[in-house]
Amino acid sequence: MPMSNPPPSNPISASAAANDVAGEPSPLQWAEIVQQLGAEIAGPLSLALERIHDLVSTGQIDRQSLRALRESVSQAREAGMLGQQLARLASGRLKLARERMHLTQVLRGVLAQRSRETQARGIQVRQILKPVEIMADGSLLFALLNALMDWALASTHSSIDLRLDLTPWPAKARLVCRFAHRSLDLLADPRAAQSPQALNSLAWRLLEQTALTMGVLPLRESEAGITELTLEFPQTLGDEPNAAAATPDREETLGGGRRNKQGSEHAADYLPSSNSKPLAGSHVLIISQQRELRSLIQAAVQHMGLIVDLVGSMAEASQFCLDGLPHGIVFESALRDEDFELLRAEVMREVTDFCFVEVLDEQHLTQLSTATADGLARISRLHLEDALASVLMFELSKGL
């Protein structure tokens, strides 16, 4: 059962007062989330267990069954990670900061980070964004925009349209996300009036609870197979209702299509500031052919709330990055070869301040990327436990 019940009125007029009724989620709502979390973990694992039983009984598994097994385990893992982020919101220990954030720049930075993922899925993200500044917690703002993209990408059967503008007086920043939640050729089907499960998944729960924690009520409406979500930010800075009109809208297309020349030339202008990159929920890829070293790196960052993936070679890392970039890469120095340089060059073309940390076997002084000639951070494996967390804290939050 979704926690945001869309009213029958016009979406624009209804959203104008969305934040006036924002409130804390109730214990009953959290109980529903926990129940859903259990279902989204147990379901894929049950399917995986069936595949394993088949493997044990027959002694063999075909490629299709192996792919299905991997997908089931991946789905359960993703649900578990969403649960960790929801638990962080429910803990009551979050201390929200009030920072001046350029919402447009932060959003463009998130879209730049996710562009490879959208391209891999063949999904266009069309933007019409006015320049807007707000007061918000930078960490939660970054998490909110990523949760929005996670939910929209998992739910859409079309392009994703994003519009950022200001409401009439009193001026408030308003971000609208619109997409088709059913295939366009099925909209005439009577079942199209029903909302698919993806719209109310754990990804939606995380998006919803992050918004509520920030004091932003997500107003969601669905009609004729089209879903529209409005996020209205209550603390918009210094803009009169018509202030943004002086700057023409800029429209771009990301993923599954081309970006216009202006967008590609000025991608660096829209990277988020250091305040907008939290550690909790950031995604780090560890590359090492040594299982022991992978375990050491993972243990050194396990308290940071990071999402961690492990691969054993640069070829595997390149394949992993095809579907979407992590926020940082920690790699074994012995694997620094031509394949690494190609991967690094490709990544840096998309995200110019991407986080790379090289782990050396021998004794070495810990260095941040700002202190090295090639812009790579370096650390000895002897210092992983003591210093890797601090290095990542800087490298994941650095800005141009």
pLDDT in tens, 4-50: 433 333 333 333 333 333 456 667 777 778 888 888 888 888 888 88
Listed ranges 121-125, 135-139, 277-281; the one with the highest mean pLDDT? 121-125
Which has more confidence, 383 or 272? 383
Question: Rounded to an integer, what distance in angstroms lies between the CA atom of residue 83 and that of residue 201?
Answer: 12
Q: What is the pLDDT of residue 281?
A: 66
Q: What is the percent of the chain where pLDDT is above 70?
A: 78
Question: Rounded to an integer, what distance in angstroms lies between the CA atom of residue 382 and that of residue 29?
Answer: 46
Q: What is the pLDDT of residue 190?
A: 55
Which has more confidence, 57 or 2? 57
Give the pLDDT confidence of 303-362 residue by residue, as tens digits. 777 888 999 999 999 988 887 888 899 999 999 999 999 999 999 888 888 999 999 988
Q: What is the pLDDT of residue 324?
A: 81
Q: What is the mean pLDDT of residues 151-161?
A: 91
| CB half-sphere exposure, 99, CA atoms < 13 A | 18
Token pair, residue 351, equals 């995200």
Q: What is the pLDDT of residue 273?
A: 37
Cβ-Cβ contacts under 8 Å for 198 (sequence gap 6 or more): 154, 155, 181
Q: Which range (50-59, 116-125, 169-178, 275-284) has the least confidence? A: 275-284
Is the pLDDT at 242 greater than 80, yes or no? no
pTM for this model (two decimals)? 0.61
Q: What is the pLDDT of residue 61?
A: 80
| Beta bridge partners of residue 128, listed in sequence order | 163, 251
Question: Rounded to an integer, what distance in angstroms lies between the CA atom of residue 390 and that of residue 161?
Answer: 38
Q: What is the percent of the chain where pLDDT is above 90?
A: 27
Q: Round the average pLDDT of the chain to a whole number and report it.
A: 78
Q: What is the mean pLDDT of residues 253-270?
A: 37
Give the pLDDT confidence of 63-107 residue by residue, as tens digits. 888 888 888 888 788 888 788 788 878 777 777 778 888 999 889
Q: Which range (12-26, 155-169, 223-237, 318-332) has the least confidence? A: 12-26
Position 215 confidence tier, pLDDT thresholds 50, 70, 90: confident
Position 184 confidence tier, pLDDT thresholds 50, 70, 90: low
Q: What is the mean pLDDT of residues 126-131?
A: 93
Which has more confidence, 153 or 5? 153
